[in-house]
Structure 1
Amino acid sequence: MTTTAPAGQRGGARVAVQRFGTFLSGMIMPNIPALIAWGILTALFIPVGPLPNESLASIVGPTIHYLLPILIAGTGGRMVYGTRGAVVGAFAVMGAIAGSDWLIAQFNAAQPEGSGELGQVHMFIGAMILGPLSAWVMQQLDKLWDGKVKAGFEMLVNMFSAGIVAFVMGLVGFYVVAPVVNWIMSVVGGAVGWLVETGLLPIASLLIEPAKVFFLNNAINHGVLTPLGTTEVAADGSSILFLLEANPGPGLGLLLAFSVFGVGAARATAPGAAIIQFLGGIHEVYFPYALMKPILIAALVLGGASGVATNMLLGTGLAGPAAPGSIFAVGAQALLVGGGNLVGVLLSVVIAAAVTFAVAAVILRASRKRDLEREAAGDDALGAAVAQTQANKGRPSEALSGLTAAGAAGAATATATDRTAPSDAHEPIHRIVFACDAGMGSSAMGASVLRSKFKKAGLEDVDVKNVAIANLDGGEDLIITHQDLTARARQRNPHATHVSVENFMNSPKYDDVVRLVAEANATD
């Protein structure tokens, strides 16, 4: 059974950073397709690209400077307060964009002729501030007059109040957020630039690799590396910063070391975890293996630093963020920059994996005798590490829950299907949704597994999707969630059939779902 630590036992500061990083990720991840499209344009058509085209390159600047921040702010606003929040958040970030441009123009105008001028600051951070903040302000104001507006005036009040909030928050963006973000980007950009110039960028792995294991990396990746990386891509066509966190080599090397030199359940489950991590891009599956022996984090750091050093020496990078951190996503973003760049990036992945494997192998071999004794004594080291990883994450993980299940019994169990209303017993089921926190990762795998089962059963009229719980709209017929998230799903849609599972990737309950749907749709 998957366990999580009580809230009171978790580090308050760490949990706060995790939640902050998760929220940032929630704003960035849905807009990754737009970042990919922009990366393709940039990699191909800017002057340093393989197909320089001045007319098509004119799309690059407005996209990164206006469209992407507006999309991010709109997404953040929608997360807080739906469409109403998205609108005011999207407008507010325009104030920050214009304010930043005005400040930079004033600075450049005051510079002596011939001196270097400041370039544009792209308001990714401003968007991640103003989108949620503006939506929250709108939400609080709506609460003030909720139920107090006379009939017939609701639309008038709603429209004008949102317009006024958008106007005010635009001014806040112009006068407050813009100068703050300009300063932050100047300081952080200068620090990263210094690390690159001095050849010390690999030491960033000392922070990033341990942060990944404790789920603290999202704040660094989406709050700092993505904004800086996109700025570099606009100028150079690629950025090494996108590879600092996304390189799947260290995780692969660690899991391969466990596959060869591990013992018991850890050795049995490591090959499957390696496939999920390397091909699927779900890095969290290797975190429990590192926590089994925290000294293995040193292997991850050395492997990550080796990969960064390789990219620095070869001058390679990605055209956009690789999300999820799958070798396919990394390879696609590397290929956009050029064939030679792809070879360099793949070499950095291989070297990172090889270094991590070599160091981890030494550590595992040195403790092998002791590990075998503990295994014989019934010590469930992997189960304890999975539980610790769940506690570090601060919420359930379907990918992690599959590790202990695979090691112990080859499959997970699930709670019984629960129909929330007896009257639903004979209603047809056409819309099935896998719901989790982010709506990605292993829930997408679960949806794929169930689609395959429906196809084999000849059930072609069933739509199976995966979404975030926050995006459930009440129109779902059947919702499948991790057992710790079912209560939240019921709040979003109390009328649907709810199925709770411990493991999205390999639950025996899927066969029950197929039978249930077949019976429900037999008379449809």
Structure 2
Amino acid sequence: MSTATAEPAEGQKQPGALRVGIQKVGSFMSGMIMPVVPALIAWGLLTAVLVNIAQWTTGWAPAEALDTAIFPMIHYLLPILIAVQGGKMVYETRGAVVGGIATLGVIAGSDYIIEQFNAGRPEAEQIEYVHMFIGAMILGPLAAWIMKKLDGLWEGKIKAGFEMLVNMFSAGILGFFLVIGGFFGLAPVINGLMNVLESIVGFLVDNGLLPLASVIIEPAKVFFLNNAINHGVLTPLGAQESSAEGSSILYLLEANPGVGLGLLLAFSIFGVGAARATAPGAAVIVFLGGIHEVYFPYVLMKPALLLAVIAGGATGVGTNMVFDSGLVSAAAPGSFIAVMIMTASGSHLGVILSVVLSAAVTFAVAALILLKDRKKDLEGADEFTSAVAKTAAAKGKSSGHLSNLAGAAAVPAQTEKVIQQVIFACDAGMGSSAMGASVLRKKFKAAGIQDVEVTNKAIAALPGHTDLVITQESLTDRARGQEPNAIHVTVDSFMNAPEYDEVVELVQNSRQPVAVGAGEESASSSAAPAAAEAPAEAEAPAEAGEESGILTLSQVRIHSGSVTQEEALAEVSQILIGAGAVTEDYLQAMKDREDTVSTFMGNGLAIPHGTNDAKDAVKTSALSVVRYDGGVDWAGDQADFVIGIAGVGDEHLEILSKIAVLFADEDEVAKLRGASTEDELLQMLSAVNDG
């Protein structure tokens, strides 16, 4: 039975657009808050230390003097740091400066409103100052965006010699107006918003309903939607409450590591397959490392487990409410160690119990769900690798932690058959897979493995009888459909994937049961001699810039700055067009490839190339090499080298395989980054063909 998916009507948002939008907002908030967390931790530690000193001493002059630093840190320093970071994300240093200036205006405006309200009122009726975290997250990026747009109005129109004068005064004048706007315009709005949010939280606390927040927070974490809630609401409110009360339970609504610990312990005992094998290691990472995303694939694999994490999260919140416990500042990352360091004086028992009980409840509920489905799970296919891929897709960018989890699940420690053939598979079988194959051949050679055939193919061309297949995360499920009986290894980076060493060990282990007596030949000794004759080890290849014509000096460039991924694609394709290698249609084919799977290889290298459907757009084989010293954001990874590929048959693979070996060596990559001219860079790239 097949299903058809209707195309969305014009103007209609595609499914998941709202989720992606929330993710982007949350990621941007996280990008503003996370770099400032050390300052928030410093403030929390200072507050905790002075509180403890006050409990044991009376009137100690140094402590009383130091106490004067607490309010300025949280009221001025932290919001301005957030605004500076937000402005920098939008428009570098100029954005950071005007963002900080604007935020001071909204802080001053808020203080003025509160001072007017408190004037003449008895102390019991006075309200606390509002710490402008939310105001900073709004004004920092907004001010930077306005500055960027203003600069664009007169870009290229300023007479030589007046650039600095215009730049300085334009930023200063804009800052002046933004201070006024923040003081009179945004401050009343933020104060009102904080009052509403505090009222909602107060209602939930007063009525014992705060544990219900887990119904929203725990599922949001699994789908990476929690950043908007955590950094946009909980952290500002937590800072406000902690400043007034000395601690806040709000810091623990999302950071409790007991939820992930309980879930992973349940998988360690009652799980099956790769999920059970990887759960103990993941539990350590979650509990002590605070990397909660590691447990998300286990929930996505069996959505009923959302009930377990919600129950565990609510239990932790309820426990902290009973014991009136909380943290003095944010625990980031959310490890047990960080939580303990940030726990307020007198709250340790409640916080520890909240972690223990949330783990116990999550474990109990998860165990019941796993036991109920155990027979079906044992008989069915192992879906853990697919769940990891779904989690990575939900995150919207690459994650080393999820990649390692997928690799651990995909590479078994032992295999019953002797591995004689390894295929790297990608969508086209032309670029990334060829480079990965070259790197693995080198590792096999170093390990003394001479009788394993290592090749690269398009997924559609997999023969159906391969021993081991290596693919990128998003392509593994397709490869399984073509090679159901093969061992499948998932990697995030073809250049420096840690799974390669595990593959080498797996191949070595597969040979241990095969006894080779004196005068006898190994059962696999005759397998695929092509490995020794692979392109990566070929002797006396043509010089890249001479006989082959695939890479010449005119096709190598160095830029000091940075560009967008789309601009980089346009440049490398234009070089190939100029070399007569491709037609104008090839750029769109490159973009189509990136929409399917990223061509980022690792070690700062991206190798954009067209799809299989673009073969008619390729006239001859060629490479284009551009080094961007400012880096290119390549779907969440930083690419310093962008190598455009156009290939007819296998003509380009010999040089490409040598480049792969070169870029697999971080020392060699450092030398390539240090090349001062295009000619020097070309010589370094050509040198790999000397054998």
Residues 237 and 511 (structure 1 numbering): CA distance in 2 closer, same or farther, change over 3 Å?
farther
Q: 1:89 aligns with which of 93, 99, 115?
A: 99
Tell me the CA shift for residue 391 of structure 1. Answer: 2.4
Residue identity matched to 1:513: D
- Structure with the larger helix share: 1
Tell me the CA shift for residue 512 of structure 1. Answer: 4.3
1:256-286 deviation line (CA, Å, top 9, x unaligned):
1111111111111111221222221111111
Residues 232 and 491 (structure 1 numbering): CA distance in 2 closer, same or farther, change over 3 Å?
same
Structure 2 matches for 1:340-419, cutoff 5 A? 340-374=346-380, 379-409=381-411, 416=435
Tell me the CA shift for residue 401 of structure 1. Answer: 2.1
Which residue number corresponds to residue 247 of structure 1? 256
Structure 2 matches for 1:184-199, cutoff 5 A? 184-199=193-208
Instruction: Report SS of the residue matched to 1:250.
Output: helix
- Partners of 2:194 and 2:272 in 1: how far apart? 47
Which residue number corresponds to residue 71 of structure 1? 81
**Structure showing greater Rg:** 2
- Partners of 2:110 and 2:670 in 1: how far apart? 58
Tell me the CA shift for residue 175 of structure 1. Answer: 1.6
- Partners of 1:344 and 1:332 in 2: how far apart? 14
Q: TM-score, normalised by structure 1?
A: 0.78
Please state if 1:492 is matched with 2:494. no
Q: 2:18 aligns with which of 8, 13, 38?
A: 13
Tell me the CA shift for residue 160 of structure 1. Answer: 0.3
Q: Conserved in 2, the CA contact under 8 Å of 1:396 and 1:482?
A: no
- Partners of 2:85 and 2:56 in 1: how far apart? 33
Residues 81 and 514 (structure 1 numbering): CA distance in 2 closer, same or farther, change over 3 Å?
closer
Q: Conserved in 2, the CA contact under 8 Å of 1:246 and 1:325?
A: yes
- Partners of 1:250 and 1:372 in 2: how far apart? 25
Residues 312 and 272 (structure 1 numbering): CA distance in 2 closer, same or farther, change over 3 Å?
same
1:161-218 deviation line (CA, Å, top 9, x unaligned):
0001111111121122111110110000111112222222111111111110111111
Instruction: Report SS of the residue matched to 1:295.
Output: helix
- Partners of 1:191 and 1:276 in 2: how far apart? 34
Q: 2:118 aligns with which of 84, 108, 115?
A: 108
Tell me the CA shift for residue 497 of structure 1. Answer: 5.7
Which residue number corresponds to residue 43 of structure 2? 38
- Partners of 1:485 and 1:69 in 2: how far apart? 41
- Partners of 2:672 and 2:626 in 1: how far apart? 25
Instruction: Report SS of the residue matched to 2:247.
Output: coil
- Partners of 1:307 and 1:388 in 2: how far apart? 28
Please state if 1:215 is matched with 2:206. no
- Partners of 2:661 and 2:321 in 1: how far apart? 48
Give the share of equivalent positions with the same residue, in percent.
Answer: 56
Instruction: Report SS of the residue matched to 1:257.
Output: helix
Q: 1:230 aligns with which of 232, 236, 239?
A: 239
Which residue number corresponds to residue 304 of structure 2? 295
Tell me the CA shift for residue 66 of structure 1. Answer: 0.7
Q: 2:269 aligns with which of 260, 282, 286?
A: 260
Q: Conserved in 2, the CA contact under 8 Å of 1:256 and 1:357?
A: yes
Residues 479 and 286 (structure 1 numbering): CA distance in 2 closer, same or farther, change over 3 Å?
closer
Which residue number corresponds to residue 150 of structure 1? 159
Which residue number corresponds to residue 270 of structure 1? 279
Q: Which has the higher contact order (CA 8 A, sep 6+)?
A: 1
Which residue number corresponds to residue 513 of structure 1? 665
Q: Conserved in 2, the CA contact under 8 Å of 1:70 and 1:90?
A: yes
Residues 410 and 321 (structure 1 numbering): CA distance in 2 closer, same or farther, change over 3 Å?
farther
Tell me the CA shift for residue 388 of structure 1. Answer: 2.0
- Partners of 1:77 and 1:485 in 2: how far apart? 31
Residues 82 and 218 (structure 1 numbering): CA distance in 2 closer, same or farther, change over 3 Å?
same
1:94-126 deviation line (CA, Å, top 9, x unaligned):
110111111112222375x57611210110000
Structure 2 matches for 1:120-159, cutoff 5 A? 120-159=129-168
- Partners of 2:184 and 2:388 in 1: how far apart? 47
Residue identity matched to 2:169: F
- Partners of 2:250 and 2:267 in 1: how far apart? 29
Residue identity matched to 2:219: P
- Partners of 2:626 and 2:353 in 1: how far apart? 44
Q: How many positions carry a matched residue from both structures?
A: 449
Q: Conserved in 2, the CA contact under 8 Å of 1:479 and 1:498?
A: no
Residues 482 and 409 (structure 1 numbering): CA distance in 2 closer, same or farther, change over 3 Å?
farther
- Partners of 2:608 and 2:245 in 1: how far apart? 44
Which residue number corresponds to residue 305 of structure 1? 314
Q: Conserved in 1, the CA contact under 8 Å of 2:608 and 2:642?
A: no
Tell me the CA shift for residue 400 of structure 1. Answer: 1.4
Please state if 1:480 is matched with 2:482. no
Moved more, 230-239 or 159-168: 230-239
Q: Conserved in 2, the CA contact under 8 Å of 1:248 and 1:349?
A: yes
Instruction: Report SS of the residue matched to 1:492.
Output: strand
Instruction: Report SS of the residue matched to 1:493.
Output: strand
Residue identity matched to 2:29: L
Q: Conserved in 2, the CA contact under 8 Å of 1:48 and 1:236?
A: no
Which residue number corresponds to residue 332 of structure 2? 323
Tell me the CA shift for residue 519 of structure 1. Answer: 9.4
Residues 9 and 193 (structure 1 numbering): CA distance in 2 closer, same or farther, change over 3 Å?
same
Q: Conserved in 1, the CA contact under 8 Å of 2:90 and 2:144?
A: yes
- Partners of 2:186 and 2:672 in 1: how far apart? 54
Q: 2:67 aligns with which of 57, 62, 65?
A: 57
- Partners of 1:327 and 1:509 in 2: how far apart? 41
Residues 489 and 204 (structure 1 numbering): CA distance in 2 closer, same or farther, change over 3 Å?
farther
1:449-498 deviation line (CA, Å, top 9, x unaligned):
9xxxxxxxxxxxxxxxxxxx99xxxxxxx973697999999583379568
Which residue number corresponds to residue 518 of structure 2? none
Q: Conserved in 2, the CA contact under 8 Å of 1:44 and 1:50?
A: no
Gaps of 5+ in 1: 1-5, 418-442, 450-468, 471-477, 500-507
- Partners of 1:397 and 1:365 in 2: how far apart? 31
Moved more, 14-23 or 47-56: 47-56
Residues 512 and 284 (structure 1 numbering): CA distance in 2 closer, same or farther, change over 3 Å?
same
